A = this chain, B = another copy of it.
């Protein structure tokens, strides 16, 4: 795959100069914005202050913003916490700018949630720099703080230029990406049904600083369940034989599920990530609960794996005379970027010189629930693509020492800003 000679763009040199200058000037602000969000991380469905700050910024820029209950309306929120706090589930927002002229609808999607990880102290830049997480046990350990900064940076870069363009821009700040929950609600609320081109970037993932990776593939489809087990308690000393032990049953299930994952098929994974069982040492545990996820690259593989896992759970429950129930917590479908999107991205990047290095094939080997939105756009005839924007990392994603090279922020704003404008410069006939 190479930058093909037929790449054409209406981006003028003047416009490119303006975009480059804008992105350059924005650097300190991007860093500061990212760090502000880094300091106050909130986990999925609870991005309450995060959303408030995003809405304030977007509104100030003159976008029409929809948030709160109007955003996701009555769409099902998979995998809410068991004891929701006020406002939980009504997070995220969308900013729309309609030029009023016929043209395509383009959408940049950004995810905003953090993870239930305690951020490291010592020998860790956020701690040294005074912008470590202020919230115990919660941390932006996957770069979504950077994504927010990029999204707001794009909003800022585009705003003065939009009046001369065609079509509409949607800037979508999606909650609850971790666990594959938020995109489904956004999709079901209809926000991408009219989108002609949807894009998103992810920071890091193993790509080095200064690299733009296109040809991103290997997205893992995933399905996640909560399993609830209910046995019969008994005094563990006096009459253990009268109990039906939900904790022991759950442990057998965990070993059985993890042993199912061996496969020659691509991307097969099973992970029981959490378990809670029993109440007291001297009672045979009556109840147990665990959450697990399955992954695969291909949809049929995921279906087959799900059948095996649920069968194993059902029958193991029978084996131990335990009642069970399960709830679907997340469901992210398989995905491949639509054709032509790699060539287009390389073309844009070379024009604006955002990233000096390129990778034309990149195995993401994980899930990103933007694929649920992308699949909807593709189903309805639009184009969609996810790119990886490289950044050297202090440690792996989802670990307490995670941090990334902030150089990626301005480069990403430049690349995305130029790309969206390129789409909106298209002749009116390009829209649907």
Contacts and interface: CB of A to CB of B under 8 A. Distances in A.
Contacts of A295: 236-237
Interface in A263-312: 263-265, 267-285, 288, 291-293, 295, 304, 308, 311-312
A32 interface: no
B278 A273 contact: yes
A278 B269 contact: no
Interface string A384-415: 00000000000011111000000000000000
B261 A178 contact: no
B264 A274 contact: no
A238 B366 contact: yes
Given A235-B398, A245-B259, 7 more contacts: A117-B283, A239-B365, A240-B264, A241-B304, A250-B275, A256-B319, A282-B293
B258 A248 contact: yes
A423 B79 CA distance: 64
A4 B305 CA distance: 43
Interface of A: 115-117, 178-180, 205, 220, 222, 224, 233-242, 245, 247-248, 250-252, 254-256, 258-259, 261-265, 267-285, 288, 291-293, 295, 304, 308, 311-321, 329-330, 365-367, 396-400
A370 to B, nearest CB: 15
A116 B280 contact: yes
Lowest 7 CB-CB distances: which A-B pairs, in order? A315-B319, A236-B271, A273-B281, A251-B251, A315-B318, A274-B278, A241-B263
Given A117-B233, A365-B238, A278 B270 contact: no
Given A261-B262, A270-B262, A282 B318 contact: no
A266 to B, nearest CB: 10
A5 to B, nearest CB: 22
Contacts of A267: 237
A236 B330 CA distance: 15
Nearest to A368: B237
A246 to B, nearest CB: 10
Contact of A258 (B115, B222, B259, B367): B259
A311 B321 contact: yes
Contacts of A247: 254, 272-275
A268 B241 contact: yes
Contacts of A233: 117, 398-400
Given A179-B281, A258-B248, A271-B282, A222 B237 contact: yes
Contacts of A283: 115, 117, 273, 398
Contacts of A292: 281
Contacts of A315: 315-319
A111 to B, nearest CB: 14
B273 A274 contact: no
Contact of A280 (B220, B245, B274, B397): B274
A89 B396 CA distance: 42
Interface centre among A241, A265, A288, A397 (most CB of B within 10 A): A241
A241 B258 CA distance: 13
Given A282-B271, A316-B315, A319-B319, A264 B241 contact: yes
A336 to B, nearest CB: 17
Given A252-B252, A277-B274, A366 B235 contact: yes
A279 B269 contact: no
A109 to B, nearest CB: 19
A72 B255 CA distance: 43
A51 B336 CA distance: 52
A316 B313 CA distance: 10
Contacts of A264: 237-241, 365
